[in-house]
Amino acid sequence: MTKINKLDRLLKTGQKLYHTQDLALLWQIANRNTLYTAIKRLVKKQILVSVRKGLYSVLPLDQLDPYRLGAALIHHYSYVSGETVLAQAGIISQKVYPITFVSSVPAKIKINDQVFLFRKLKEKYLINPTGISLVKGVLTAGPERAVADTLYFNPRYYFDNPALIDQRKVKQIQRQIGY
């Protein structure tokens, strides 16, 4: 496949972030050495930007949506939850710097000046879609699911504005999920 065809396929997908395996499938390259050579050349020509090992972007890092970037970083199922959602909903008032995700693997990753925090949740709870919706292309917990998740990790968590929490919905979500 020529370089122009590779670029054409990249641009036609509309995606901004690609894992190495995505590029292999997109370009139909089975040989790993050929794939890594093609990627290395496109990174050198600044057509692709290396985000971290195995993850590439067609945009400069400062132009990427931080939530989409976070969702792509660990290459596992994850969703935005915890303090990030609670701060957006006004349930906690302090400024939250890391974007908090719930995932099957724990991690803390810093890209540029943005920190991404991944909290590990048991698989049986993680796969339950209750209270999670797709927001701007990223799976995101609603406020009640974020409260339930936060209480799972820290049962004594202090909420600045508990009046904003629908306790009935939180209890219902906790029952449906099983924690």
Q: What is the mean pLDDT of residues 120-128?
A: 95
Domain ranges of the chain: 3-63, 72-177
Give the C-alpha separation, 47 to 4, whole Å.
11
The tokens describing 170, both together, are 């939180």
What does the DSSP 8-state code read for residue 133? E
pLDDT value for 1? 59
pLDDT single digits (tens) 129-165: 999 999 999 999 999 999 999 999 999 999 999 999 9
Of 161, 153, 43, residue with least CA distance to 103 = 153
The tokens describing 8, both together, are 């054409």
Q: Are 102 and 87 in contact (CB under 8 A)?
A: no
Q: Is the pLDDT of residue 3 over 70?
A: no
pLDDT single digits (tens) 24-65: 999 999 999 999 999 999 999 998 999 999 999 999 999 999
Give the C-alpha separation, 155 to 148, whole Å.
9
Q: With both helix axes pointing from N to C terminus, report the angle between 82-89 and 143-153 in degrees, rounded to the nearest 10.
A: 140
Residue showing tokens 């067609």? 58
Q: Is the pLDDT of residue 11 over 80?
A: no
Residues in the chain: 179
The tokens describing 34, both together, are 């050929």
The tokens describing 33, both together, are 């050495």
The alpha-carbon radius of gyration of the chain (Å, integer) is 19
Q: 10 Å Cβ neighbour count for 177?
A: 20
The topology (CATH level 3) of 3-63 is Arc Repressor Mutant, subunit A (1.10.10)
Question: What is the model's pTM?
Answer: 0.87
pLDDT single digits (tens) 64-119: 999 999 999 998 999 999 999 999 999 999 887 899 999 999 999 999 899 999 99
Q: Is the pLDDT of residue 4 over 70?
A: no
